[in-house]
């Protein structure tokens, strides 16, 4: 079994949204390790927040399992091009879709351009997220609270609403929630609140779309080593990130990707309305 990095991590801080290229240690998104076996052969996937971190790991895994991938991201062009390179090295097509998902028009555009390029959507992964850390309620700016909701949950509603007409029976929607949906961290109040909303949205949507044969599930990661961490947390929190888990370290993005593959595949044909934790041993009950 591969030995992944454990805390303490080097002091580091980046501006939002963060760049994977400058992280130390560099996150493992499966670039050298993920092996595909054709489980998503010829499927079309739209993944938001796929320039780096969990989204990149999912994009790489999907491509190596045989899917073509559309990648929605904000403006981290260097990271996104690197993700596209790995997708294309797997012999699959990749569409890059930069833009701010806090805007309704962008949510609709990423769906429209994916369908224009690939003809349909078989798998939708709503993964893009924003967070900031605050020690006091009074420190949270109103506009930041609204932006957190716009990106983390309202964008999911908008993208899903636009995508469903282009999804056939057997398609899969996978939403990224968080262990914060179960045990909210007080210093991530806005983020944790949206993640609880995503869990509820997923459970309700699965029932709403069941008659269409479209499955809806969510993945709840624990602490995962991604650019969002070094861009939004204090240096002290970064140094010890993930140390509180029973496994004593944060997860790497590549360790989260396999559950997305399972939920996207036809192997999960009777799995819908569920939430799957990848938490390093922290319980979710």
| CA max distance for the chain | 51
Question: Among 274, 258, 163, which residue's Cα sits nearest to residue 216?
Answer: 274
Out of 34, 191, 260, 276, the active site residue is 191
191 carries an active-site annotation: yes
Pairing of strands 123-126, 68-73: unpaired
Which H or E element spans position 84?
Answer: helix 77-89
Residues 6+ apart with CB under 8 A from 165: none
Q: How far apart are CA 53 and CA 225, in angstroms?
A: 7
Q: If you ran DSSP here, which 8-state letter would residue 181 be given? A: G
Angle subtended by helix axes 53-64 and 77-89, to nearest 10: 20
Q: If you ran DSSP here, which 8-state letter would residue 166 be given? A: G
Question: Among 57, 12, 74, 42, which residue's Cα sits nearest to residue 252?
Answer: 57
CA angle 22, 27, 31 (to 5 degrees): 110
Per this entry, what is the length of the chain?
285
Question: Among 282, 251, 186, 249, which residue's Cα sits nearest to residue 53?
Answer: 251
Q: If you ran DSSP here, which 8-state letter would residue 224 be given? A: B
Question: Among 256, 259, 263, 282, which residue's Cα sits nearest to residue 4?
Answer: 256
Q: How far apart are CA 217 and CA 101, in angstroms?
A: 21
Q: Which residues are catalytic?
A: 191
């Amino acid at each position: 079994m591969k030995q992944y990095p454990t805390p303490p991590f080097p002091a580091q801080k980046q501006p939002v949204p963060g760049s994977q290229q400058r992280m130390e240690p560099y996150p493992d998104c499966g670039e050298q390790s993920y092996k595909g076996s054709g489980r998503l052969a010829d499927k079309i996937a739209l993944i938001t927040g796929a320039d780096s971190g969990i989204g990149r790991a999912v994009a790489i895994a999907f491509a190596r399992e045989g899917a073509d991938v559309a990648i929605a991201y904000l403006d981290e062009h260097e990271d996104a091009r690197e993700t596209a390179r790995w997708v294309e090295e797997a012999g699959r097509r990749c569409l890059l879709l930069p833009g701010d998902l806090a805007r309704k028009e962008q949510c609709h555009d990423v769906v429209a351009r994916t369908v224009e390029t690939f003809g349909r959507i078989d798998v939708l992964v709503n993964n893009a997220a924003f967070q900031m850390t605050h020690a006091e309620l009074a420190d949270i700016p109103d506009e930041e609270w609204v932006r957190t909701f716009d990106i983390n949950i309202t964008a999911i509603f908008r993208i899903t609403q636009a995508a469903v007409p282009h999804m056939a029976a057997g398609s899969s929607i996978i939403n990224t929630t968080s262990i914060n949906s179960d045990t909210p961290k007080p210093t991530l109040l806005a983020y944790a609140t949206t993640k609880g909303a995503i869990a509820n949205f997923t459970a309700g949507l699965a029932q709403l779309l069941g008659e269409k044969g479209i499955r809806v599930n969510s993945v709840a990661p624990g602490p995962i080593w991604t650019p969002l961490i070094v861009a939004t947390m204090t240096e002290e929190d970064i140094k010890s990130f993930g140390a509180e888990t029973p496994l004593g370290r944060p997860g790497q993005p590549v360790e989260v990707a396999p559950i997305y593959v399972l939920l996207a595949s036809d192997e999960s044909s009777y799995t819908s309305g569920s939430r799957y934790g990848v938490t390093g041993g922290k319980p979710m009950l």
